[in-house]
Structure 1
Amino acid sequence: MRIYALTGGATGIGAAIKQRLLANGHQVIVVDVTDADIIADLSTADGRQRAIDDIHERAPDGLDGLITCAGLGSHIPDRGLVTRVIYFG
């Protein structure tokens, strides 16, 4: 069993990746703004730091992988928010 952290795992592609990893017997720590193991707003520096701290607490010996699927669609008018989530989250 391997341990993965997955951002954006509550819906969409991230949720599908989570299901595949779980089906293969891996542990998945999901980070998202809703319906996740770790609730964190990755658009903020505080949210990103909280996610890192919580992941470290849940996997003190480290991760086998980090999958970054957090994102927002082009329908979101706040381009700064989209950029913060996609590039920094």
Structure 2
Amino acid sequence: MRNSNFVEVVVMPDILPQQQLLLELIIISGDIGVPDSEDSSIFFRTMNECKAKGWIKISTFGGGYNKLSITDYGRSLVNSGKSTPQKTA
């Protein structure tokens, strides 16, 4: 039985919804191929934000494509979305 004075909160360190979605997609799908010619889309901005934070790595795949892979840090970030009990007022 749960104590009604507590609520479960998912604690994630400064990860935006689109960043989490990209990380989860890579975890579910494995490596992802993306065009090596970037544009100003939300996808490429999100990809570069995740790379800058060390959550993914981008490597040359060939044929005009790059490969996105999740790093151990990125995987642990998504997997650490544990619920933490916090007392309500």
What is the TM-score normalised by the length of structure 1?
0.25
**Normalising to structure 2: TM-score of the pair?**
0.25
Structure richer in helix, relative to its length: 1
Which is strand-richer, 1 or 2?
A: 2
Q: Report 1 or 2 for greater relative contact order, CA contacts < 8 Å, sequence distance ≥ 6.
A: 2
| Structure whose CA Rg is larger | 2
